[in-house]
Copies of this chain bind each other. A is one copy, B any other.
Amino acid sequence: MKRTRKRNVSVSDRGEFALIADIQRVIGPTKGSVIAGIGDDCAVLRGGDPNTYLLYTCDPVVEGVHYRSRDPARLVGWKAMARNLSDIAAMGGVPRWAIVSIGLRSRTDVRWVKQLYAGLQAAARKFGCQIVGGDTTHVKDGAFVVVALIGEVERARITLRSGAKIGDSTFVTGVLGGSLRGRHLAFTPRIDEARWLVTHFPVHAMIDLSDGLSSDLQRLAERSARKVGFEIHAAEVPISHAARGSLTAALNDGEDFELLFTIDPRHVTALRTKWARKFRVALTEIGRVVHSTRQVTLIGRDGSKTLLTPAGYDHFATR
């Protein structure tokens, strides 16, 4: 009897999207209390309160990947907390409780750790979240900071990735691209903006931009109904100063941590007016939800159409 030997496939060959699908197959379906599991910004859980859902997320930051060893510890702490706060924002939720697990080399200066926690605590406190536990362990190489966060959202206000409807207007907050030139360590998670949005408008779908607009648009399309896609106008994509005019950077850089959401076009005028009165951060309509097989199309200034593929950050891409 012959057996074919399976080829080794590394996680970088497989890529992050496929790897997550593999993991989902191993874990199988969730049930009962789990409204949304792997595949949204947070897990959504039915806890004891009949009017709210629990939101649950955990994102690590890793030395040499999400920050450099020479970055100020306070900013590293801020980023580690703010990334997770941004996930709660993407569901329209309120952050409540954080636990912090850190892996440190034995030689790390205690002052570095205190500064790290000062940054973690500053971000938590600013958005009404409490750090309620943690664990420190030693590592040989490559420190990490893992924040797990529990939030809450009224059941009527939860905003998933999956709700985009054909005809919806598509918006982003802020400006995109070039985040790695510094903003990625000091960004403001859009908790206040997201809460205001879900309180005042029926937002259909929302995600926070962590891996780049091109990737995260694809995520919204993939979580939506089968025949939903996006048309994005290149001329409308808000490019940050740090991206130095590069549309490619604004589409693909990642770590913007802005909100991307869709809403019925009849609310657009009211949304623009009220937003401008309330917030200083930009709000830009970049395109529409269209009838398409989960494709994202970029419409150029000349009217040309290109398929926009996910070129944002893949955690296992070899680069």
Q: Which A positions have Cβ atoms within 8 angstroms of B? A: 6, 8-14, 16, 19-20, 22-23, 26-28, 30-34, 37-38, 42-43, 45, 47-52, 54, 56-60, 62, 64-66, 96-97, 99-101, 103-104, 106-111, 113-114, 117-118, 121, 130-142, 144, 146, 148, 150, 152, 315-316, 318
Distance of A33 Cα from B151 Cα, bound (Å): 13
Q: Are A138 and B48 in contact (CB under 8 A)?
A: no
Q: Are A106 and B316 in contact (CB under 8 A)?
A: yes
- Known interface pairs A132-B34, A136-B19; A56-B97 also in contact (CB < 8 Å): yes
Q: Are B140 and A64 in contact (CB under 8 A)?
A: yes
Contacts of A30 in B (CB 8 A): 130-132
Distance of A99 Cα from B236 Cα, bound (Å): 37
Q: Are B136 and A16 in contact (CB under 8 A)?
A: yes
- Known interface pairs A27-B117, A62-B103, A131-B27; A110-B141 also in contact (CB < 8 Å): no
Distance of A34 Cα from B20 Cα, bound (Å): 34
Q: Please name 21 pairs of A and B residues whose Cβ atoms are closer than 8 Å in the assembled complex, sorted by A.
A: A10-B109, A11-B108, A11-B109, A12-B106, A12-B138, A14-B110, A22-B113, A27-B121, A31-B130, A37-B130, A43-B97, A43-B132, A43-B133, A47-B48, A54-B150, A56-B99, A56-B148, A60-B103, A60-B144, A106-B316, A141-B142
Distance of A26 Cα from B121 Cα, bound (Å): 8
> Which DSSP category, helix, strand, loop or mixed, fits chain A's interface?
mixed
Measured CB to CB, the closest approach of chain B to A297, in angstroms, equals 29
Q: Are B315 and A137 in contact (CB under 8 A)?
A: yes
Q: Are A109 and B37 in contact (CB under 8 A)?
A: no
Which residue from B49, B109, B137 sits with its C-beta under 8 Å from A48?
Answer: B49
Q: Are B135 and A60 in contact (CB under 8 A)?
A: yes
Contacts A23-B114, A26-B117, A27-B117 aside, 17 further interface pairs with beta carbons under 8 A come to A9-B111, A10-B107, A11-B138, A26-B114, A28-B121, A38-B131, A38-B133, A43-B133, A58-B134, A58-B135, A60-B144, A65-B137, A65-B139, A101-B146, A138-B316, A139-B142, A141-B142
Contacts of A62 in B (CB 8 A): 103, 137-139
- Known interface pairs A65-B137, A106-B11; A58-B96 also in contact (CB < 8 Å): no
Q: Are A58 and B136 in contact (CB under 8 A)?
A: no
